[in-house]
Amino acid sequence: MTSASARVPATAPSPAVASERVPVLLVHGIDDDARTLAPLADALARAGFQDVRIIELKPNNGDAPISVLAEQVAGAAASLRALTGHVRIDVVGFSMGALVSRYYLQRLEGRNHVRRFVSISGPHAGTLTGWLRANPGARDMRPNSELLRGLATDEAPFGDVQVFSLWTPLDLMIIPARSSQLAGARERTFPVMLHPLMLRDGRVLRSVEEALTVERPEDFQALPVVLPPGGP
């Protein structure tokens, strides 16, 4: 399996701001590619992040197990650390990419190299849509899969990595939507109607930036959720 990463051009922040920004690795979801994460990458660039990389997972359709994709994330993370000289980086994963990133943290020593992990609508407790495909990646994302059971047994899964989870209770891709909850994570929910729109919603994009820049994780507070009329 191979992987590639794309560098996102950043705006020119002040030297003080630039020096505070930790490199960020973005990990896309199933059937996605770097273009899917472009709105998030652009938002981070505008916020002054100079080193943002998007990994292209190969294959991107679930034909590879989560563990194989996580090895690609480990390689991209090591390359980003070597390129920038940072001991630790931040990782943001969307949908399947959040679970792939979690596996990297828990099973491939990623927790030793990552400062903060932001999960956006990840299937951490599985999703019923995993039954719509028969390939290895989809099987890993089914509720109560062997992979998910194994990850859930770790007593200290993330070490000292600061973890954040952003998700929508209206999700029709992650079913049930509460599967995106992650034990020990700082959490925010958003009334976003469609799974892919989580990467285009301004509130979500601003929350990712906040999660990566807030001085103390405990200052990242939950927001009130106002559901649209007729919502659950």
Instruction: Say if residue 11's pLDDT is above 70.
Output: no
pLDDT of residue 24: 98
164 beta partners: 118, 186
Alpha-carbon Rg for the chain in angstroms? 16
Of 86, 20, 82, nearest to 48 by C-alpha is 20
Q: Is the dihedral of CA 85, 114, 73, 42 positive or negative?
A: negative
5 pLDDT band, cuts 50/70/90, is low
Segment 71-90 mean pLDDT: 98
Instruction: Say if residue 8's pLDDT is above 90.
Output: no
Segment 131-145 mean pLDDT: 98
pLDDT of residue 4: 56
pLDDT of residue 13: 47
101 neighbors 138 (Cβ within 8 angstroms): no
Question: The pTM is what?
Answer: 0.90
Segment 174-196 mean pLDDT: 96
pLDDT of residue 1: 34
123 neighbors 131 (Cβ within 8 angstroms): no
**pLDDT-wise least confident of 6-10, 155-159, 196-200, 221-225:** 6-10
Percent of the chain with pLDDT over 70: 88
Percent of the chain with pLDDT over 90: 85
Segment 115-119 mean pLDDT: 98
Q: Which residue has the tokens 């190969």?
A: 58
| Residue with more model confidence, 69 or 11 | 69
What pLDDT digit, counting tens, does each position of 188-224 carry?
999 999 999 999 999 999 999 999 999 998 999 887 6
